[in-house]
Amino acid sequence: MLPTACTATTSLWLPARTRYSNPISATEFILHLATQLEGNLMSHFVRDWMSSPVTVVDPDSSVTFALTLMRRRNIHSLVVVLQEGQQTTYGILTTTDIRDKIIASDRNPAETTVREIMTMPVLTAHPNWTLKECSIEMQKKGIHHMPVADDQNNLVGLISATDLFIAAEEIGWDAGY
């Protein structure tokens, strides 16, 4: 179920028959954005709506450090960059990871490293993807944050479901809602 503020906001975008009687998840809402706003989302690109620069965290940092970094920057995810020789791979640490793998399992965040609980490997978006392409990939994978990497696999940004919601609101709604 979406948070109250988001639920109230989505009521403007959904047909009356779905309002209140059938709450949807954020992932389902991302798919709704992709299908209902197809024309608008096809002419806007990830590069225009992603956050940049990206806040990264070392995989060997403590979860306590990572959580402090998230709180101070008012963000919900950190990208983890893993370098093995010439190969760069990305992971991600989200507040959901911390909730599910630290708080729910009663682990000590000061004694747990980011590497132990991060999600890896992650799907990366390309800056030239349309917002529709990004929405569909997020929905298929059930994720809310995606690092953005260029053709050389350099980290250039991060896009989130919140960024897509903001884009859809600012672009305008031609779907009749």
- Per residue in 16-71, pLDDT tens? 444 445 666 666 665 665 555 555 555 789 999 999 999 999 999 999 999 999 99
Q: Which two tokens stand for residue 53?
A: 């620069």
Residue 130 DSSP class: B
* Same domain (yes/no): 56, 120: yes
Q: Is the pLDDT of residue 138 over 70?
A: yes
Closest by Cα among 157, 162, 158, 167 to 132 = 167
Report which of residues 9 and 126 the model is more confident about.
126
* Same domain (yes/no): 105, 76: yes
Report how many domains make up the chain: 2
Closest by Cα among 63, 52, 133 to 95 = 63
The pTM is what?
A: 0.74
Q: How far apart are CA 24 and CA 10, in angstroms?
A: 9
* Same domain (yes/no): 41, 63: no
pLDDT value for 175: 42
pLDDT value for 169: 84
Place of tokens 């450090």: 65
In a domain, 135, yes or no: yes
Q: How far apart are CA 158 and CA 151, in angstroms?
A: 15
CB 109 within 8 A of CB 137: no
Give residue 27's domain range.
1-47+127-142+161-177
pLDDT value for 39: 54
Q: How far apart are CA 49 and CA 17, in angstroms?
A: 31
Residue 121 DSSP class: S
Residue 111 DSSP class: G
* Same domain (yes/no): 87, 68: yes
Q: How confident is the model at residue 170 (pLDDT cuts 50, 70, 90)?
A: confident
In a domain, 148, yes or no: no
Render pLDDT for 83-132 as a digit per residue (tens, 0 to 9): 877 888 999 999 999 999 999 898 999 999 999 999 998 999 999 999 98
pLDDT value for 21: 54
